[in-house]
Structure formats: C-alpha cells, structure tokens
Amino acid sequence: MAVAPPSYCFVAFPPRAKDGLVVFGKNSARPRDEVQEVMYFSAADHEPGSKVECTYISIDQVSRTHAIVISRPAWLWGAEMGANEHGVCIANEAINAREPAAETEALLGMDLVRLGLERGTTAKEALDVIVALLEEHGQGGNYYEDADSCHSFQSAYLIVDREEAWVLETVGKYWAAERIAEGVKCICNQLSLTTKIDAEHPELRSYAQSQGWWTGEDEFNFSKVFSSAEDHLDCCAGKDSIEKKEESITVQTMIDILRDKASGVCIDSETFLTTASVVSVLPQNRSLPCIHYFTGTPDPSRSIFKPFIFVDDVKLVPKARSPCFGDNDPAKKEPRFLEKPDRRHELYKAHEWARAVIESDQEQGRQLRKTMLELEKQGLEAMEEILTGSDPLDPTEVGDLFYDCVDTEIKFFK
C-alpha cells in the first residue's frame, strides 16, 4: 500500500478564532518535485447535455458552475485545496484504509474537491455534491504523476463555510461525516471520525458487517472499523499545534502553524515536501469579504502568503500558471506519464532561486527571508484594514490583488 502524504488541514471557529472569523488552513504534502499552480475560474453557464473532463474521466456538467480559486498539482484537473465565490473552502487528504483504494481510473479525491467548489453554495451542499458523485462514479486512479507504479488512496475532506465545517471521510463509495461549528479541528492522512457521526452512507454499517469488520453489537466507531491495522489513530502533530495555541487564532497564527517544521506540520522529507499552502479567513458577518491567502510555491516557511478576494472582474495570473501541453500532455495520453514535462511556472522558477539562497548563504538568506516576511506583512495589514475598516470594499481595487502580489514577489526575487 502506498504511503499517504502527511498533509494537514485545520479550521478554527469563534471564540477560539478572533473577531467573529472562521480561519481555515491547509498544507499540501506531495512528491518533492511536483509543481502546484494557483488558478482562478470564473462562474460559467453550460449547455444542457455538456460534459466536464476531469483528470481521468468525463462526467455530466451542471447548468452553472461557481467562480473558484484553487491550488492544484499542475498535471491534473482537480484541486488539493481552494475556495469559491460563496465562501466555501475545501481541502482533501489522501488516506489509507482497511479496504485498498481502487487503481481503476475514476474520480480522484482532488477532482471531487473542485467539483464540490464548483457546485456547492454552502459546506453542506458541497458535501452532498461530493457524496452523490462518489456514489455515481466512484474514486480511483493514480494520485501521482508516476508511470512506474499506481499510488491510489481513499479520501478525507475538510469542507468549511462561514457557519460550519464538515469532516467527510470516504472508503470507496461509503462515507461518514461530522459537523463542526465551534472550537478547532485538524484532519490529516488517517481516518479520524469515531462515534460522533452526523451523516453517513445509508449502507455504511451493513457493508461493515458484511465484511466482518463490525459485529453490529458494539458501538459503531468509524475509524476503528475502517482503518488499516497499522494506522495509529493520531493526527497529533497538527492537533497539538492548533490546540496548544492559547491566544485567539488569527490568519498569522494559522500561517505560523503551517510553517512549523519542528511539529511535522510543514513536511520536508526525502520523499515529500509541502508543495503549496493556503489560509482562508471567512468572516461570519456576511457584509465582509472572505480572503484567501495562497503561496503557489513550496515550503511555507520560505514562501509568501498572498491574498485573493472574489470580485466580478478578477485579473488572471499567468505567472502562477504552469505551461499548458494540451492533448499532448503525458498525463492525458495512455499509457500515462511516460514523460515528465517541465511544469514550473514563472513564480515557481523565481522562488527556486530564493529557496536556494535561503538554504546556502546564511547572511544573504536571513536578509532575504526578512524582506519576504515584510512583503507578506504589508499584505496582511492591508487585508486587516479591509476587515476592520468602515469603508465598503471597492471591487476595482482588489480585482488585481493576487496578480499584483505575484508580480511584486517575482520582481523582488529578480
């Protein structure tokens, strides 16, 4: 069974989070050399009977899809994490379970993240979208751009809006979910739901019984029933990181948690690296905008979190988008992944230089990191003013917000 990458997702609700804000965060741990791009797709209407081509399969399109911003491995269609115009955020975790994940190509967990964002106006609606598509199409296929072996996983999701969050954990088409509306929650690359289940697949328990995994007499504990024997039910690194914070959780607190290598939340191992990160702040006051901070680059401890706000006229950011290979992309041709094209975008290339400097030259590296954090601080302070100021948001001022931040970062590295 392939080793599931040790990613972490977090959410904090008031009063643990500050000032009536819901704070969401995710570190995406993936193979070290994989590039993630940050992509915006505007809302769109679709012709009846049209199809949408996901990573491996095509499915029926809906009549309207919402505007979304996502961070995704550049070779696939779906997303590791992202948000939509209605203030819904979703992140996914690859997990192993007692039942091995299917290698047959179907929907990837990451496709379901994007489909949930495109089709759900609330967290619960997005959950309903994901489980309906799971029932209809199943999940399966290679999670990595690797011709030599198929790394397939089951999926868990953290689905958040301004009011509530849902932890959704899936094994094949079977699933269980827990609703959260207070305190803090962390999910990682293992099943975490136990006996508190607020929604589930109608045949979940009978399936567990038919497999001999549950007697039907003891209390039903989802993780206990569906986890593989070698899994220790413990997301302790992430759980400790967020629970031990005594102060109110802010955007900065969440960024600090994601940057923490000592805790294991920020992964930098021989196999895996945190290849991208996101923090979102969702004000419970609906007159205020949700703000989403993406790195678009690996290792949050050496990256700048850059803000994005949904408005009608968002300026696209080609410098954070990987080259497009169209139908010649080795990920789209079968047999897949026979070649690995260079998927680095302009921001990634500029950032490679910065990472090398920080790693090699102590004084220059320290100065560089200091300036990077200063740039980030300016962005965070400007966003804080939007959330606390009395003036209404001017959409013309924020349509090119993420574009300008990426542009400034690249110029600074040069």
Burial of 248 (0-12, 13-18, 19+ CB in 10 A): middle
Judge whether 24 and 280 are in contact, CB under 8 Å: yes
Q: Evaluate the omega torsion of the peptide bond into residue 300 and state whether it is cis, within 30 degrees of 0.
A: no
- Per-residue tokens: 237: 């690194």
Q: Does 9 qualify as catalytic in the annotation? A: yes
Backbone φ, ψ for residue 338 (5° rounding): -70, -25
Please tell me the total number of residues recorded for the chain in this structure. Answer: 414
333: Cβ contacts below 8 Å, ≥ 6 apart: 327
Tokens 């001022």 found at: 397
Sign of the four-CA dihedral 298, 304, 307, 313: negative
Q: Which of 348, 368, 350, 369 minimizes the C-alpha distance to 414?
A: 350
Instruction: Please give the distance of CA 150 from its chain centroid, rounded to a whole number.
Output: 22
316: Cβ contacts below 8 Å, ≥ 6 apart: 40, 403
Helix, strand or coil for residue 132? helix
Which residue among the candidates 9, 89, 188, 405 is catalytic per the annotation? 9
Active site residue ranges: 9
